[in-house]
Structure 1
Amino acid sequence: MKKIYIFLLVLLTGITSCQKASINGDLDGMWQLMKIEYKDQTSKSPDQLYYCVQLHMVQLQGSAMCRGTFSRSGDSLRVIIRNHKAADVSAYGMNDTIQNFFIEKLSSEKMILNSSFARLSFRKF
């Protein structure tokens, strides 16, 4: 019986130790892109486009899937999508594969990113 308890303890310890803790606070998670407001005063509401953020990685999911990295410093966010072209990320409100954003709002439910190209509104999915 003692061996069963030890086995269960080791099993539970192994399962919980594989989880990665959030290092980005409210930024981590899956964000649905709700609205893109371009600097030329036009806007659109995309259908099922997502930014998935975890650790130092970002994945853009939707019509095309793009993976990259990001860095955050205070209210600044820099997204870098490698091995893709600007046309691949344009649907996601980016005009280049390297985009600098100002974090206008970030909570557990809502995020607004602002760049020289567009203002992006997200909801936590």
Structure 2
Amino acid sequence: MGKIIRLLVMVMASTCLMSCDLETSDNGKLDGFWHLERIDTLATGGSLDVSGEKMFWSFQVRLLQLQGGSASFYFRFKQDADSLTLFSPYTSEGHEETLGDGGNKPVTDPSLFRDYGIDDLETHYKKEALDGSRMILRSRRLRLLFRRF
């Protein structure tokens, strides 16, 4: 009887371990919490210092969260060695069960996240610099400078 119970416990334990799926990130130095410090306009050479603002980009797995501007948002993103693409923006309004009206909603107006240096619903950036302490992204119109927080 003891052998049967031991065997059942081992089978259940191994089944539990096999069913676990750990999602890991391969984002490298991009992962983490980045403080937006400056927004440069490429066409005019103008520069906006936002280092005193609390605007943050936070990357984890395949999700970007924007916090601190006029509102908070989520984006999906994809990257390769020298580029970053943001797409599928959603509002950051909490969970469905706390709001009662469906939770996060797709964003269709790109002007809502302009204070974060994002112009379109899908935006492509070239990574001009990315190391352990700073990141510089360039879109067709803007250059964004970040410091790791």
Query: TM-score by structure 1 length?
Result: 0.80
Q: Does 1:104 align with 2:124?
A: no
Aligned to 1:33, which of 29, 32, 36?
Answer: 36
RMSD of aligned alpha carbons = 1.9
**Would you tell me which structure has more strand in proportion to its own residues?**
1
Q: Residue 45 of structure 1 corresponds to which residue in structure 2?
A: 49
Aligned residues: 111
1:34-88 deviation per Cα after TM superposition (whole angstroms, max 9, x unaligned): 0000122211122111100000000111121010100002201101124222111
| Cα displacement (A) at 1:20 | 5.2
Letter in 2 for 1:106: L
Max radius of gyration: which structure? 2
| Cα displacement (A) at 1:19 | 7.3
Q: Does 1:65 align with 2:72?
A: yes
| Cα displacement (A) at 1:98 | 1.0
Letter in 2 for 1:58: L
Aligned to 2:118, which of 87, 94, 99?
Answer: 94
Q: Residue 75 of structure 1 corresponds to which residue in structure 2?
A: 82
Identity of aligned residues (%): 31
CA distance in 2, matches of 1:18, 1:25: 20
Q: Residue 7 of structure 1 corresponds to which residue in structure 2?
A: none
Name stretches of at least 5 consecutive residues in structure 2 with no aligned partner: 1-16, 91-105
Q: Residue 3 of structure 1 corresponds to which residue in structure 2?
A: none
Call closer, same or farther: CA 1:108–1:20 in 2, change over 3 Å: farther
Query: TM-score by structure 2 length?
Result: 0.68
For 1:68, what is the secondary structure of its paired residue?
Answer: strand
Name stretches of at least 5 consecutive residues in structure 1 with no aligned partner: 1-13
Flag as ranges the 4+ runs of structure 1 deviating above 2 A.
17-22
Call closer, same or farther: CA 1:78–1:48 in 2, change over 3 Å: same
